[in-house]
Amino acid sequence: MDIATVRAILRYSDWADDQLLRTAGALSDEQLDRPFDMGVGSLRRTLLHIWAGESVWFCRWQGKTETPWPDESERVSVPTLAERFRDTWKQRAKWLDSLPAAELAKSIIYRDSKGTCYSAALGDMMLQMCLHSHHHRAQAVNMIRHVGGTPPEVDYMYSIRKPA
């Protein structure tokens, strides 16, 4: 794992989150809150969970004591949620700008939301955050399809390809 790879994965992750938020912004509250037997129960809650996970993992990367997991039953508006995502992205980018490459191999000790203590390499923790979000993005795309929305294409190649 190297900083350039981490940045590339995070660029994709942020782009994919933004695609979901743009699509969700055009949906009604009824569509956002329709219950599902997958993920964390609704599209709104799944988007909030993606942001919460990214925010919590960012705290862990820094070795900070994480705040309690955000309340995923909060009926946050999509524009407010988009603002939270962008704020997290800005803080993370600023932090990454000052991160020496050797730090990716460093072990970080953190406590999960249940208080259990763990240790993992920073680079692995970064990859975990991206994979966690990726998993829930797939659920969100499926939810959008099931509520009658047009699901965004969040495949990696869509984020990097250019017209020939």
Interval 43-94: pLDDT, tens: 999 999 999 999 999 999 998 876 777 777 889 999 999 999 999 999 999 9
Above 90 in pLDDT, residue 38? no
Q: How confident is the model at residue 25 (pLDDT cuts 50, 70, 90)?
A: very high
Give yes or no for a contact between 36 and 143, defined as CB atoms under 8 angstroms apart.
yes
- Report the 10 Å Cβ neighbour count for 98: 7
Percent of the chain clearing pLDDT 70 (strictly above): 99
Give yes or no for a contact between 113 and 60, defined as CB atoms under 8 angstroms apart.
no
pTM, entire model: 0.92
Segment 1-13 mean pLDDT: 91
Above 80 in pLDDT, residue 109? yes
Above 80 in pLDDT, residue 135? yes
- Phi, psi values for residue 121, rounded to 5°: -70, 140
Per-residue pLDDT at 136: 95
- Total number of residues shown for the chain: 164
154/118 Cα distance (integer angstroms) = 32
- Report the 10 Å Cβ neighbour count for 70: 16
Above 90 in pLDDT, residue 113? no
65 token code pair: 């004591």
Per-residue pLDDT at 99: 94
For 3-160, CATH gives 1.20.120.450
139/45 Cα distance (integer angstroms) = 11
Look-up of token digits 């000052």: 98
Per-residue pLDDT at 34: 97
57/85 Cα distance (integer angstroms) = 13
Give yes or no for a contact between 143 and 43, defined as CB atoms under 8 angstroms apart.
yes
Per-residue pLDDT at 70: 76
- In sequence order, which ranges of the chain are alpha helices (DSSP H)? 3-24, 29-33, 43-61, 78-97, 122-146, 156-160
CA quadruple 116, 132, 48, 39: dihedral sign: negative
